Chains A and B, each alone.
Chain A
Amino acid sequence: MSAVPKPGYHFEEMQSMLYLNGVTKSFDGFKAINNLSLDIAPGELRAIIGPNGAGKSTMMDIITGKTRPDVGEVRFRDSIDLTRYDEAEIANLGIGRKFQKPTVIESLSLWDNLELALAGNRSVVKALFHKLSGEQRDRIAEVIELVGLAKRAQELAGNLSHGQKQWLEIGMLIMQEPELLLVDEPAAGMTDQETMETAALLKEINRDHTIVVVEHDMDFIKALDSKVTVLHEGSVLAEGRLEVVSANPRVIEVYLGR
Chain B
Amino acid sequence: MSKFDDVFKQSLIGRLLQSDRAGTWLLGALLALAVLVPFFNLVIPADSFLHLPTYLVVLMGKYLCYALLALALDLIWGYCGILSLGHGAFFALGGYAMGMHLMRQIGDRGVYGNAELPDFMVFLNWTELPWYWYGFDNFFFAMFMVALVPAALAFVFGWLAFRSRVTGVYLSIITQAMTYALLLAFFRNDMGFGGNNGLTDFKDILGFSLQSDGTRNVLFVLSALSVAGAYVLCRAIVSSKYGRVLVAIRDAESRTRFMGYRVEHFKLFVFVVSAMLAGIAGALYVPQVGIINPGEFSPVNSIEIVIWVAVGGRGTLFGAVIGAIVVNYAKTYFTGAFPEVWLFMLGALFVISTLYLPKGIVGVVNQYRERLAVKNSANKPQELSS
A-chain residues with CB within 8 Å of residue B109 when the two chains form the complex: none
Assess the B242–A127 pair: CB atoms within 8 A.
Answer: yes
- The reply on B197 being an interface residue by CB < 8 A is no
Q: Please name the residue on chain A nearest to B262 by beta carbon.
A: A88
Q: Please measure, in the bound complex, the distance between the C-alpha atom of A63 and the C-alpha atom of B3, giving whole angstroms.
A: 58
Q: Mark B254-292, 1 if CB is under 8 A from A, else 0.
A: 111111111101100100000000000000000000000
Q: Does B244 contact A (CB under 8 A)?
A: yes
Please, which residues of chain A bring their CB within 8 A of the CB of B258?
A: 64, 87, 91, 96-97
Kindly specify which of A12-20, A116-124, A142-150, A218-226 makes contact with the partner chain: A116-124
Given contacts A106-B251, A124-B265, A124-B269, contact A116 B241 (CB under 8 A): yes
Question: Bound state CA distance, A78 and B262, in angstroms?
Answer: 25
> Does A124 lie within 8 Å of B266, measured CB to CB?
yes
A139 and B258 alpha carbons, distance in the complex (Å): 20
Size band of the A side of the interface? Answer: 20 to 34
A26 contacts the other chain (CB 8 A):
no
- Cβ–Cβ contact A127 & B245, under 8 A: yes
Interface size, chain B (Cβ < 8 Å): 23
Chain B contacts for A128, CB-based, 8 A: 237, 240-242
* Chain A residues within an 8 Å CB radius of B247: 105, 107-108
CB within 8 Å for A88 and B263 given contacts A103-B255, A105-B255, A128-B240: yes
The dominant DSSP class at the B interface is helix
B252: Cβ under 8 A from any A Cβ: yes
Indicate if B248 sits at the interface (CB-CB under 8 A).
yes
Taking a contact as CB atoms under 8 Å apart, the answer to whether B254 and A124 are in contact is no
CA distance A5 to B245 in the complex (A): 25
Q: Is the CB of B251 within 8 A of A107?
A: yes
Question: Contacts A66-B254, A104-B255, A124-B265 known; A176 to B260 CB distance under 8 Å?
Answer: yes
> Closest Cβ of chain A: how far from B256's Cβ, in Å?
8
| Residues of A with C-beta under 8 A to B254 | 66, 87, 103
Minimum CB–CB distance for A5 against chain B, Å:
16
Which residues does chain B contribute within 8 Å of A99, judged by CB atoms? 255
**Central interface residue in B247, B251, B255, B260, by most chain A CB within 10 Å:** B260
Closest Cβ of chain B to A158, distance in Å, is 9
Interface residues of A in 94-140 (CB under 8 A from B): 96-97, 99, 103-108, 112, 115-117, 122-124, 127-130
> Is A83 engaged at the interface, CB distance under 8 Å to the other chain?
no
User: Cα distance A141–B258 when bound, in Å?
Assistant: 22
Checking A104, A107, A112, A122 against B260 with a beta-carbon cut-off of 8 angstroms, the contacting residue is A122
